[in-house]
Amino acid sequence: MPDLEHKDYHILPFQFARTPQGDMLLVNEGGDFQFFPRETFENFVRHRLEPTDPAFFALKSHLFLAQDELEVSLQKLAARYRTRKSFLRDFTTLHMMVITLRCNQRCAYCQASSAEEDARCFDMPASVARRVVEMIFQAPTSHPKIEFQGGEPLLNWPVLETAVLYAEQCAHESGKAVDFVICTNLLAITEAQLAFCREHHIALSTSLDGPASLHDACRKTRGGSGTHALFLEKLDQARAFLGPDAVDALMTTSAFSLHHLQEVIDEYLLRGMKGICIRSLNPYGFAAEQAAALGYDAADFAACYLEALDAILAVNRRVYFPEHFAALLFSRILTPFATGFVDLQSPAGAGISGVIYDYDGSVFPTDEARMLARMGDRHFCLGNVLRDSYSALFASSRLKALTTRACVETTPPCAWCVYQSYCGADPIRNYLETGDELRTMAGTPFCVKHKLLFDGLFERLRQADEQTQDIIWSWITHNPLVAQGHEDA
């Protein structure tokens, strides 16, 4: 007997999950999402949904089902999928150079395991820097971004200058554009260095962990004193040279600040920061050694982060002040565009979207892989710029194998997770925790954190009033005007 209730439509590929509220969240391969009551979902998957049902139209227009136009719908879905993965066409954009491993600070959580300020043999020689720059301009991307890291990159300033000038020459000769960022704690910056940054359009990225009581808990000089006061002095100096918006800051959440994120937000506003990025601790370097004192549970981080996000959304009713990680995840959820965030993508950005060159010319697919090498395990080293050609490094079977094992689409349980389209893989962390680049992600700190964050973001999206929606879109579009006109009474 034919099923008389059977409705004639095609179900397109999607993932689904029951929400904490009891209804169903559906996300298709293009990253489009829909919420439905469980009964509607059951009717849909059992081919019992009436074409006159409003849910039918929603599912059809968002490419969860197709009628006669199956081929066209699949092509549209494929086009959206390609757009989401368009970062793959830009191989490799982010190039990080460890100009020196020496540092004038000794932060409790330093993931780079920085060396003493006067240590020897930890500076990148100019010859290596030039070779790295040549390697960077062999990458197919038309617009590489060079990020100078450390240690404290200002401590090897002559080589940094050499790298900038040589990169500008290579950019000119190849017809490419190039951007520069220096990741610096700012403490040692001079007026001459700031003038060079201004002349060569070099952006500065620094760290501010909160008010003095929180910042100084982890960010100390080698002698053990707090750095907050000198940091603020140097921040003012840098802004005077480069403009008020030229210095971006990140914060790293430690056990000291986890339950004090409101104080961190207040400090960012007080110091005129134009946004904030609340980052969790990564288990590398000194942070791994100090895990008992500095670490915390992934679920605790997610809860504190979401509470802080609510506070930041409330601030945005008065002033544009994005939380950059939420902005990125909202962008993935609400738009089909690639975000270019190498730390959370599939395939992982390791080596294909970002790459790091150590001070001695060793090449690693991520900063974390380099940190692992500092901890004594060179498993991820791709080679050395002094010895290996571009293709030996970037078309190697080593990198191909790593990329193959770094896709959420083939990792359990990510392969059927409703958040698959927005999440990413971290083969370095997997290897650190299990000795294998590919593992089941169920119950891992990485998965617990991201699942709870996605749960929280979707909940906020569902509850968002018109003003909150505008705020979220102002973050996605980097346009404060989108949220204007909603001043609190």
Which one, 40 or 111, has the nearer CB to ligand SF4?
111
Is 370 one of the binding residues for ligand SF4 (CB under 6 A)? no
Is 348 one of the binding residues for ligand SF4 (CB under 6 A)? no
Is 407 one of the binding residues for ligand SF4 (CB under 6 A)? no
Which one, 87 or 419, has the nearer CB to ligand SF4?
419
Binder to ligand SF4 among 25, 98, 112, 182 (CB under 6 A)? Answer: 112
Q: Which two tokens stand for residue 196?
A: 């060079």
C-beta of 447: minimal distance to ligand SF4 in Å? Answer: 3
Is 325 one of the binding residues for ligand SF4 (CB under 6 A)? no
Range in contact with ligand SF4 (rule: CB under 6 A) among 381-389, 429-437, 443-451, 459-467: 443-451
Is 472 one of the binding residues for ligand SF4 (CB under 6 A)? no
d(CA 220, CA 244): 25
Q: Are 75 and 63 in contact (CB under 8 A)?
A: no
Binder to ligand SF4 among 105, 141, 156, 206 (CB under 6 A)? Answer: 105
C-beta of 44: minimal distance to ligand SF4 in Å? Answer: 22
Binder to ligand SF4 among 413, 434, 435, 484 (CB under 6 A)? Answer: 413
Range in contact with ligand SF4 (rule: CB under 6 A) among 65-73, 233-241, 410-418, 478-486: 410-418
C-beta of 204: minimal distance to ligand SF4 in Å? Answer: 13
Which one, 56 or 109, has the nearer CB to ligand SF4?
109
C-beta of 420: minimal distance to ligand SF4 in Å? Answer: 5
Binder to ligand SF4 among 77, 107, 155, 208 (CB under 6 A)? Answer: 107
Is 365 one of the binding residues for ligand SF4 (CB under 6 A)? no
Bond preceding residue 224 cis, omega within 30 of 0: no
Angle at 264 between CA 242 and CA 423, to 5 degrees: 90
Distance of alpha carbon 354 from the chain centroid = 11
C-beta of 60: minimal distance to ligand SF4 in Å? Answer: 26
Helices 126-136 and 157-174: crossing angle, nearest 10°? 30
Which one, 112 or 309, has the nearer CB to ligand SF4?
112
Looking at residues 131 to 150 of the shown chain, list those that interact with ligand SF4 (rule: CB under 6 A): 150
Interface with ligand SF4 (CB under 6 A), residue total 23
Binder to ligand SF4 among 15, 73, 100, 114 (CB under 6 A)? Answer: 114
d(CA 328, CA 290): 30
Is 44 one of the binding residues for ligand SF4 (CB under 6 A)? no
d(CA 335, CA 333): 6
Binder to ligand SF4 among 447, 457, 472, 476 (CB under 6 A)? Answer: 447
Q: Are 218 and 254 in contact (CB under 8 A)?
A: yes
Three-state DSSP state, 34 = strand
Is 185 one of the binding residues for ligand SF4 (CB under 6 A)? yes
Range in contact with ligand SF4 (rule: CB under 6 A) among 109-117, 327-335, 427-435, 478-486: 109-117
Q: Identify the residue whose tokens are 């450390």.
A: 150
Q: Which two tokens stand for residue 78?
A: 């494929």
DSSP-assigned letters across all residues of 179-226: EEEEE---TT--HHHHHHHHHTTEEEEEE--SSHHHHHHH-BBTTS-B
Backbone φ and ψ for 83, nearest 5 degrees, come out as -65, -45
d(CA 22, CA 36): 10
In whole angstroms, how far apart are CA 258 and each of 251, 254, 291, 433?
11, 6, 14, 23
> Helix count (H) and strand count (E) of the chain?
19, 14
Is 102 one of the binding residues for ligand SF4 (CB under 6 A)? no
Is 417 one of the binding residues for ligand SF4 (CB under 6 A)? yes
- Nearest of 372, 453, 363 to residue 96 by alpha carbon: 363
Is 420 one of the binding residues for ligand SF4 (CB under 6 A)? yes
Is 106 one of the binding residues for ligand SF4 (CB under 6 A)? yes
C-beta of 139: minimal distance to ligand SF4 in Å? Answer: 26
Is 423 one of the binding residues for ligand SF4 (CB under 6 A)? yes
Is 450 one of the binding residues for ligand SF4 (CB under 6 A)? yes
Q: Are 98 and 355 in contact (CB under 8 A)?
A: no
Q: Are 92 and 141 in contact (CB under 8 A)?
A: yes
One-letter identity of residue 291 = A
Burial 289-324 (b: 16+ CB within 10 A, else e): bbeeebbbebebbbebbbebbeebbebbeeebbbbb
Residues lying near ligand SF4 in the complex (CB under 6 A) are found at 103, 105-107, 110, 112, 114, 150-152, 185, 408, 413-414, 417, 419-420, 423, 441, 446-447, 450-451
